[in-house]
Copies of this chain bind each other. A is one copy, B any other.
Amino acid sequence: MSNQTAPSARTRVRRVPNRGRYDLEFIYAVLDEALVCHVGFVSSGQPFVMPTLCVRIASELFIHGASTSRLIEHAASGEPLCITITLVDGVVLARSAFHHSLNYRSVVVLGQARLVSDPLEKEQVSTALVERVAPGRSWLVRAPNQLELKATSVLGVPLTESSAKVRTGGPIDDEEDLAWPVWAGVIPLRLEPQAPEVAEPQCPGATVPRLGRGLNR
């Protein structure tokens, strides 16, 4: 499955190397399906990992947050980051305890963030974040005003030093366990929308929006 080389030694998949993928097409597809990423940064030698919404535009991954938040403060100062995105695709049920596994697609991005200071670009990213959640919605909602844009920091991280790891398919049991008397296979998992909860006051006749990639039935 891995027909490319890693962009750096530190992003090379070492454990089960044939699960590594380094082609940007695959990496982008994983990022585009993810709603949330986990951002790692270091403060006084202690790692911190914070979840936040993300959106990819071209060859950058963007996050945003209150300018005063710990995550944004650290990320905006140019410190080294690790952003990890994980899609859990299913539970792999083997005949042996040891060969139980998960099917997943994950991406690890190493790099430094740049603070998006251009007001136009900042608006574009804010729009993309709304569009990622519900395509077309940015046209329907009240656009951000200057105060709101000022309170929010937007950060972009290049995807140049990134790698993906993927497991697909059924259980891989030892030959001698194949007749073990237990169900074996995969139960796929998907993030699925539930019945919408209407806010009050509701605009009469407004329709529930369709969500973005990976969030629909």
Contact = CB atoms under 8 A, between A and B. Distances in A.
Interface of A: 10, 14-15, 35-36, 38-43, 45-51, 53, 65-66, 68-70, 80-84, 86, 88, 90-91, 93-98, 100, 102, 104, 106, 108, 110, 126-127, 129-130, 133-134, 137-138, 140-145, 148, 152, 170-171, 177-199, 201-203, 206-209, 211, 215
A111 to B, nearest CB: 10
Nearest to A11: B48
A142 B97 contact: yes
A201 B215 contact: no
A180 B51 contact: no
Contacts of A196: 185-188
29 contacts: A14-B69, A14-B70, A15-B66, A15-B69, A35-B102, A38-B84, A39-B49, A42-B47, A49-B84, A49-B108, A51-B86, A93-B133, A95-B142, A98-B145, A100-B129, A179-B203, A180-B203, A183-B198, A183-B207, A183-B209, A185-B197, A185-B199, A187-B215, A188-B196, A189-B191, A189-B215, A190-B191, A190-B192, A191-B192
Contacts of A201: 178-179
Given A190-B194, A207-B183, A104 B171 contact: no
Contacts of A88: 35-36, 191
A14 B67 CA distance: 12
Contacts of A48: 40, 82, 108
A32 B194 CA distance: 21
